[in-house]
Structure 1
Amino acid sequence: MKVLDEDTGVTIVENLKPAYSFTKRLKGLMFDKRMQPQSGVHIKPCTSVHTFFMKFPIDIIYVDKEMKVVGLEQSLEPGKIGKRFKNVHSVIELEVGRILDLGITVGQTIKIQQ
């Protein structure tokens, strides 16, 4: 699966892992040694995140039911609790620096492609 900017078609995440079951949502990226380049995790449903038991910082895209970006968090360090945003339905965790590198902004719409 991939994550794309719906307007430009730019690839945000090349290798997206779904985390839709309770077990996969609970585990997320915990205990992984690092995040692979161009990879990410889509956690759904999910309204907030934490980085307990993680070994590396991550960027987080918070989206609503229509996949519109409603919040962003850059470089959330291990052992922290993420911000809270209104209308969040799911989150995409991705490698640190990706939000800044791609200029992802609140209000843009993304899509997940199989």
Structure 2
Amino acid sequence: MINSKNSALYRTIPFTVIRADSFLTRLKGLMFRRTPLEEGLLIVPCNSIHMCFMFFSIDVVFLTQNNEIIKVVENLKPWRFVPPVKGAHAVLELPVGAIRSSSIKVGEFINLQ
């Protein structure tokens, strides 16, 4: 949907999003999980991630505090790192291929209810 007030593109994504906002849920994230994602994981607050102890690739979307997309990383493989992203407040981890299939782009906003 286009918001006529500021012409920003707001989009919803076709995934259930689980929120990880406590110390333990943020710390664990997707580590040690054996099966690939079928939903999204929103880690708040968060501005960088690691793929240590991961067994599958994911797509990653970095968001500002108002859910503006400021960086996307497609097909992030196990044992890789994404250093801190300036301005990022949250990270949305999605199934691999989700960025491309949903046409998620930097500068858009994600509607997370």
TM-score class, shorter: 0.7 to 0.9
Amino acid at match of 2:33: D
Q: Distance in 2 between matches of 1:30 and 1:13?
A: 23
Per-residue deviation, 1:36: 3.6
Q: 1:41 to 1:13 in 2, by over 3 A?
A: farther
Per-residue deviation, 1:8: 5.8
Aligned residues: 106
List structure 1 runs of 4+ shifted beyond 6 angstroms: none
Using the aligned pairs only, state the percent identity.
36
Amino acid at match of 1:25: R
Structure-2 residue corresponding to 1:33: 34
**Counterpart check, 1:51 vs 2:46:** no
Structure 1 portions without partners, runs of 5+: 1-5
SS of the residue corresponding to residue 104 of structure 2 reads: coil
Structure-2 residue corresponding to 1:3: none
Q: Distance in 2 between matches of 1:110 and 1:16?
A: 12
Per-residue deviation, 1:12: 1.6
C-alpha RMSD over aligned residues: 1.6
TM-score (norm 2): 0.86
Structure-1 residue corresponding to 2:77: 77
Amino acid at match of 1:48: S
